[in-house]
Chains A and B, each alone.
Chain A
Amino acid sequence: MLPVERIIGEEGLEATERGARLAMRLPWYRSLPFSVVEVASVKLDGTDVDLTDAVVEFDDHSFPLAEIGEQTNAFWFVRDSAFLLLPQVALQKDESHEVSLLLKISPPYIPGMTRVNPMTATLTVA
């Protein structure tokens, strides 16, 4: 896997009081506005996770995943992870889970180009 193809972040999967929190990396060479990123699906142990209530967290701000398409002035710094908070998913520390993430990005200066980026990893819950 190339560095630019890595979409599950080094920080992995964490159990929090608010739900499971998954680190994501941006599969591009530069920062992009969140509005051109689509979190197409998340699977946990092969089962689709309902993303209706999911929240994106980046640094000190957050927004509902459902509103990611409106985030034209919030930039995902390419060297940093963003986090997907899944309120409906309760995990226990030290459990092991297979996580599959599918991201799509449409670079905002290349009309007609969409990159599809899948990644699956087995993660130990932190």
Chain B
Amino acid sequence: MTIATGPQVGVTLYAFTNEWLTRQFDLDGLLGEVAKRGLGPNIEIIGFQSFKEFPDVSDDFASYFKDLIAKHGLNAVSCAINSDRFMKPGQQPIDDADLVEYHKRQIRSAKKMGFKLTRSQFALPAHLLSELAPFCEDIEMPMGVEVHAPMWAGHPAVLEYREVYEKLNSPALGWIPDFGGTARAIPPSLLDAARAIGTPEALIDATKDIWQGAEASYVKAGKLRAFAQDKGYDQAHLQACTLAFFILSNNDPQSWAELVDRTIHIHGKFYGVNDEGVEEAIPYEDILPIFRDGGFTGTIVSEWEGHAYCAVDAFEQVRRHQAMCRRILAGEPVVAA
């Protein structure tokens, strides 16, 4: 048995969204490719991305999946579930009881498939955690809420969750940091992708200005929409820029220290690791030592999200990202190319 002595690396199949959507791989093929390239063994899978039967996976499919994992020598660590509370756009959210049951359905499926933990989302109101904690404890499936941009350790929603976490003190509840919340800038590759479809530089400048603010994502999106409508800019250009408000924010990287003790898993969000082994938008050199030195021994899954705006080789990006994480965790400096 391997005894974890520090953070482990792994990958989420979400990084290969382009390859998945274009049907270049089926599930067996994609897991095989990850294994062949040595990007595992630890993996995360979004239930609603990779499993057609989600949220209610059959025994047969669960058995098939476990056989695939064994065949490829992988380790199914995390199943990302979704807190789909707003099922009818523009109407009231679904009932609390239905939302709790919706989570249980997904967690049961993840357990049956052999995953060790689940990822949830802040769309699950904090007052429902007390109903899910005993369930997660009983079936031994820790659930971590993803602290995703624009959230960060000091965000009101995180503070509200934190208060409940401390009150319940359940070993089955924790955090899953997503480093997109502490970016230093909008990824240059995202802005270049917007330019490539003809987005005017004035719209890009406005995006950068608005992104610096502390408002909610949809408020920033509304500001940019008003600006774009006033100037008569194209909807496609607006959408290319608006993406940044929903996936990245610029909070203090050191703030993760507040969450280390209850962190059960990590999304190593990234957009582009350059030839020198440095991520273009997120300061990994500042972030990873916080978790290493804080005693985190779970998995950091490489979560390349550049597929939201470009189509470079995701496998190569993940390889670079894992090498970068290992270098930083080992305390080694950047090596000039």
Q: Write the residues of chain A forming the contact surface with B, with a CB cutoff of 8 angstroms.
A: 2-4, 6, 10, 25, 29-33, 35-36, 38, 69, 72, 75, 77-80, 106, 108-116, 118
Contacts and interface: CB of A to CB of B under 8 A. Distances in A.
B26 to A, nearest CB: 9
Contacts, number: 100
A31 B307 contact: no
Contacts of B84: 33, 108-109
Contact of B87 (A2, A6, A72, A77): A72
B94 interface: yes
Given A4-B308, A29-B14, A108 B21 contact: no
Contact of A108 (B86, B217, B246, B307): B86
Contacts of A35: 87-89
A7 B258 CA distance: 42
Contacts of A30: 46, 48-49, 82
Q: Label chain A's interface by main secondary structure.
A: loop
Given A29-B14, A30-B49, A108 B85 contact: yes
Interface string B126-170: 000000000000000000000000000000000000000000000
B20 interface: yes
B303 to A, nearest CB: 11
8 contacts: A33-B84, A36-B88, A75-B54, A78-B20, A108-B87, A109-B121, A109-B123, A111-B123
Given A3-B18, A35-B88, A75 B246 contact: no
B23 interface: yes
B49 A29 contact: yes
B88 A4 contact: no
Contacts of B236: 118
Nearest to B120: A109
Contacts of A6: 21
A3 B308 CA distance: 9
Most buried by B among A4, A25, A106, A114: A4
Interface in B76-92: 82-90
